[in-house]
């Protein structure tokens, strides 16, 4: 995981932090928050437990850091997709955004992360806030930027929120609770078609 944008870290510290987050991803997504230990994370990262604590003061802080890092990865994919489609019509850009979002969020790791967030959000309010600020809010902002080509700011924001919900739809809900979704690409194709049509209507 790229941590090069964190100010104040030396190259060695950045590498260790990245290794810790990779180890945390392996452990938290395999064991869940409750069963994961800092010893497990340290072993998976190939560092000492005190090194983990120097970067993250608690298991809770490490989990929040992991959520922020994984959200940033999805945000990077969305930004790249927007750059590639910068000369496209709003319909083209929204469709590409919808596919990048859907394909990113339904990976096994991101589904496991979402389940872990839902399980712990009530006990760790900061977790839900980080997920919303670095995940849902960022995605809506990308969609709103596209929609501002056609609508005023408040309308674009409202339609962006609806767009994201329609893109994910029932297929994402079913996958999130472990339900097998047959023809998942076809399901998302229909949902994305509806999301784009509703956003631009």
Domain spans in the chain, listed from the N-terminal domain onward: 1-57, 66-200
Q: How far apart are CA 14 and CA 198, in angstroms?
A: 43
Q: What number does CATH give the domain 1-57?
A: 1.10.10.60
Cα dihedral 5, 110, 155, 82, rounded to 10, equals 50
Q: What is the pLDDT of residue 80?
A: 82
CATH 1.10.357.10 assigned to 66-200 = yes
Q: What is the pLDDT of residue 75?
A: 87
What is the value of pTM for the model shown?
A: 0.85
- Calculate the alpha carbon distances from 131 to 1, 65, 75, 139, 200 in Å: 17, 10, 12, 11, 27
Q: List the structure tokens of 148.
A: 């501002």
Q: What is the pLDDT of residue 8?
A: 73
């Amino acid at each position: 995981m790229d941590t090069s944008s964190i100010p104040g870290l030396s190259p060695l510290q950045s590498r260790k932090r990245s290794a810790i987050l990779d180890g945390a991803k392996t452990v938290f997504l395999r064991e869940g928050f409750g069963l994961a230990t800092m010893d497990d994370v340290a072993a998976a990262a190939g560092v000492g437990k005190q090194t983990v604590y120097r970067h993250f003061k608690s298991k809770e802080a490490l989990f929040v850091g992991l959520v922020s890092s994984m959200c940033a990865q999805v945000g990077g994919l969305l930004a790249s997709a927007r750059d590639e489609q910068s000369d496209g019509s709003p319909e083209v850009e929204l469709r590409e955004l919808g596919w990048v979002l859907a394909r990113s969020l339904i990976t096994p790791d991101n589904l496991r992360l979402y389940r872990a967030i839902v399980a712990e959000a009530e006990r760790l309010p900061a977790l839900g806030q980080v997920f919303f600020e670095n995940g849902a809010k960022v995605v809506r902002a990308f969609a709103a930027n596209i929609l501002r080509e056609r609508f005023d700011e408040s309308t674009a924001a409202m339609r962006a929120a609806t767009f994201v919900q329609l893109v994910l739809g029932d297929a994402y809900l079913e996958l999130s609770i472990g339900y097998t979704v047959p023809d998942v690409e076809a399901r998302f194709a229909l949902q994305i078609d509806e999301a784009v049509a509703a956003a631009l209507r």
